């Protein structure tokens, strides 16, 4: 198989659209140990994370079906969504 020769990048599934993409094309939404929801741009923070495309539409999708909440097992107030959306633009 030719694909084996291709250097593999770790992929993650977007919480919004469900597509798998290389980690570098995604952003990580993170619940920090003290309960904050942040956009982890460096990918280096620790905590429970969910991946999203760098696309506000994916955030909207995830919000609509509360999939981020289930991934992070916490409720996310709308001001957090708004802040995340701004940061994605």
Residues that bind Zn ion (CB under 5 A): 14, 16-17, 53, 58
CB hemisphere CA count around 15 (13 angstroms): 23
Q: Distance between CA atoms of 25 and 9, rounded to whole angstroms?
A: 11
Q: Which is nearer to Zn ion, 20 or 48 (CB)?
A: 20
Query: From the CB of 60, what's the least distance to Zn ion, in Å?
Result: 10
Q: Which is nearer to Zn ion, 16 or 49 (CB)?
A: 16
Query: From the CB of 39, what's the least distance to Zn ion, in Å?
Result: 15
Residue 16: other Cβ atoms inside 10 A = 23
Query: From the CB of 2, what's the least distance to Zn ion, in Å?
Result: 27
Q: Which is nearer to Zn ion, 4 or 56 (CB)?
A: 56
Sign of torsion over alpha carbons 54, 84, 77, 50:
positive
């Amino acid at each position: 198989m030719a694909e084996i020769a291709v250097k593999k990048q770790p992929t993650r599934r977007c919480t919004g659209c469900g597509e798998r993409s290389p980690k570098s094309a995604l952003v990580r939404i993170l619940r920090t140990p003290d309960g904050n929801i942040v956009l982890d741009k460096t990918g280096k923070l620790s905590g429970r994370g969910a991946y999203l495309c760098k696309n506000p539409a994916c955030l909207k999708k995830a919000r609509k079906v509360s999939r981020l909440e289930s991934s992070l097992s916490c409720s996310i107030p709308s001001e957090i969504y708004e802040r995340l959306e701004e940061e994605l633009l």
